[in-house]
Structure 1
């Protein structure tokens, strides 16, 4: 007598409904006897989950992960003693990883045993039983019930690497409807892409190739307690996109990211990266959805939603809401049309400011003020002293020192708290920025923020004349000046003068500011021109803005110089930026606390 068991599941918060029809058994048959005279039946539904690509705007359905059943889908099932964790001692009826197959396509399906040896029946001597089930089926589940996860191959069909898990307890043969809820055990990453490119490149956007780097691709999942272990093999993962290229869906092993995790977007050789900050957590059963605005070389994150995978409950994050922006940061809107450098023929310019060019930048926040002595001391006191000394992060001046009595760094005279920290190497400046979750500004970011839309010599000057210049610049510039000195050739507090139109203080003069760019140095002593081509990284790093020790001409928006990263001086400081692509991982409360000034 042939007896089949059909399985029915509703994934993502649905139910596995079991209709148990009881039949008799012949004494000769191998199966344990079941109650009644009919076989067990399971019917299956998948919940209605919207997969419309918001990026395309055309209502295109973009179901890339497991959103509906297919006839080639298989699940594995275990039947065990009720109320006990899965183990070899509690297996009932030799039901060990029995294989069941979907018989329909779509939201509703019927699962039947893949072969006669996979059929399941209730034993006489178990009034209640438990089930453990998972998708997709694998014959390689180990004797201690470890399921191998491998997400490396999902470029064609991410649903094949998904992992669903369900348990059912305290159910008796008399119960004709047995609910079983399947839950996602991995994480889902959704990227809605908005191209901000030339008209020609936008037309070919469907050809974009997306890869993830820095994620673990293999692990083990315990069918006993749902724990994931043995994470390994960090490698490149090709991602699946919709036909228009504007939506990406990936499945990730739950993990906390390392220092070099990023998503790469390749549109016919034009490469852009979205750097995912270290220590970003991707949790099991969660969906992480982002809207990304793509330029040629920059990416802006327009928003983040974190939700339970399959729920409609989400936590939106709107980065335009002032609630999410600390008061001591200024937002600079990204784009590809910002001019960098000096126009040809500028009398005050040096050769390294040519050629003037347009540089693409992403949206970012930049600190309103130069980093202060007090803020740098907070950073030092959060680091082990031996690490500070090994990395040479301590400033070499008499303003900040180490108090051996209480083992704390300090500003010797608190009246210097709100003066810019100086005598800091490029390494120390970058370490501080990364400690806050940010970075040093690139040259393009720094100059764009400094100019505040003004393409004259200074952010406050008239682009076409020098009218009223002598009256204006003492309000904005602290430099070595024989006509109108602001500080008697000494550094001023970070908020002593007027801000530019972006709300940034001391972009001209006071102290030089480190940028993250590495450059080659010319025979003249400054950075090589912008169009100089070289292989690898330069040995020098750029400084911008001039200082209280330099002439007015060195404080112009386009002025550049460079020094070795180990160099420090009493007129060199820095400020920090926070690319909006990292915004979701920032601790704004901490940033606001650290960057506050009196």
Structure 2
């Protein structure tokens, strides 16, 4: 898993922030550039799967979950449509071409906005540190403290969705890979342009389960390392030795692994996926009885970083390993500030 939640205090250093906060975004929908016929096409369900109405137990029922996964509780869902794959580089490129949208990682950070999330008196970084940048995965050469995420994340000027590993990298030939290095605001802007929205956490988990009840993973209970390879994750010792037995050392093309029971790909591994919901560790504890179509808490609170609002991300990534996060479990969640872009975080959309 990525260290998600590194946000404006990324690696405990103000210079590591990728913050250009929401007031600079949200106005770019791009819909005004499209004809009525094009708008209608965007609202169809091509490339999506319908998830039928039903009920399920949301949250962890075993002992592998974190505190924010308990208690498991009954949730009732209406039917909805969801993208069968994570949004790809090609799809995001079409959005950018139609709208001229500029992602957060491509813009110079706004210090006035950054310092609102930092302790009073935090000194301003030098101008050469306040440059368009994002966080890239840089594996160490040997074993490190697994709790120190700064050991494998680097603040990389020039890293963006077009250059996921830095300015010398490219997405050429990777059009069918999931787009990464996108903030929550970037993902939300795309979803609006496409006539869709980001999934709620409940929608995401319900869809990820693929119609199975009470199972650990989208494919059932069989361990990830047993039998046929099931997802793009980390094999070896995290974060320095990846054996790549699944064929990938980074993001894999969508549909590289089998779909779940609803025909959805990469609901485990590959990239973490943004959801619409705010993060609160105690949210599940507040749910009583059967909850219908929950939309998450009204605001965010993370005890680890109480001043930084965060959204929930789901599904794990190519960096997930059982010794570290096991984020490919169907109930697993992480959180990240809305302005954060990472090499292992993307998204998919839903609609009705």
Name the TM tier (shorter chain).
0.5 to 0.7
1:339 aligned onto 2:339: no
Q: For 1:529-573, what per-residue CA distance to the aligned partner results, in whole angstroms no more than 9, with x for missing partners?
A: 512599841121001000011114221000011111111110000
Q: 1:349 to 1:374 in 2, by over 3 A?
A: same
Shift of 1:444: 0.5
Match of 1:440 in 2: 198
CA RMSD of aligned residues (A): 3.2
Instruction: Give unpaired runs (5+ residues) of structure 1.
Output: 1-258, 260-277, 280-323, 402-410, 521-526, 581-598
Indicate which of 369, 378, 384 corresponds to 2:85: 369
Q: For 1:456-500, what per-residue CA distance to the aligned partner results, in whole angstroms no more than 9, with x for missing partners?
A: 1112124xxx4897004x1x2111123873134311001111111
Q: For 1:45-67, what per-residue CA distance to the aligned partner results, in whole angstroms no more than 9, with x for missing partners?
A: xxxxxxxxxxxxxxxxxxxxxxx
Higher Cα radius of gyration: 1
- The CA distance in 1 between the partners of 2:102 and 2:224, in whole Å, is 53
- The CA distance in 1 between the partners of 2:279 and 2:245, in whole Å, is 33
Q: For 1:362-397, what per-residue CA distance to the aligned partner results, in whole angstroms no more than 9, with x for missing partners?
A: 2111001101111111111222457977799x9953
- The CA distance in 2 between the partners of 1:385 and 1:574, in whole Å, is 17
1:479 aligned onto 2:233: yes
For the residue of structure 1 that corresponds to 2:278, the secondary structure is: strand
Q: 1:420 to 1:544 in 2, by over 3 A?
A: same
Indicate which of 218, 223, 246 corresponds to 1:459: 218
Shift of 1:414: 2.9
Shift of 1:347: 2.6
Shift of 1:332: 0.5
Alignment check: 8 A CA contact 2:234 2:244 kept: no
Find runs of 4+ consecutive structure 1 residues off by over 6 angstroms: 386-392
Aligned residues: 235
Match of 1:531 in 2: 285
Shift of 1:327: 4.1
For the residue of structure 1 that corresponds to 2:98, the secondary structure is: coil
Indicate which of 289, 313, 317 corresponds to 1:543: 313
Q: 1:547 to 1:577 in 2, by over 3 A?
A: same
For the residue of structure 2 that corresponds to 1:514, the secondary structure is: strand
Alignment check: 8 A CA contact 2:313 2:335 kept: yes
1:421 aligned onto 2:184: no
1:449 aligned onto 2:214: no
- The CA distance in 1 between the partners of 2:349 and 2:102, in whole Å, is 25
Alignment check: 8 A CA contact 1:418 1:494 kept: yes
TM-score (norm 1): 0.36
Q: In the TM superposition, what are the counterparts of 1:114-513 in structure 2 within 5 Å? A: 326-335=45-54, 337-343=55-61, 346-384=62-100, 396=134, 397=159, 400=162, 412-454=170-212, 455-462=214-221, 466=222, 470-472=226-228, 474=229, 476-482=230-236, 485-513=245-273
- Which is strand-richer, 1 or 2? 1
Instruction: Give unpaired runs (5+ residues) of structure 2.
Output: 1-25, 33-42, 110-131, 135-158, 164-168, 237-242, 288-295, 301-308
Alignment check: 8 A CA contact 1:515 1:543 kept: yes
- Which is helix-richer, 1 or 2? 2
Match of 2:23 in 1: none
Match of 1:558 in 2: 331
Shift of 1:416: 1.0
- The CA distance in 2 between the partners of 1:366 and 1:380, in whole Å, is 21
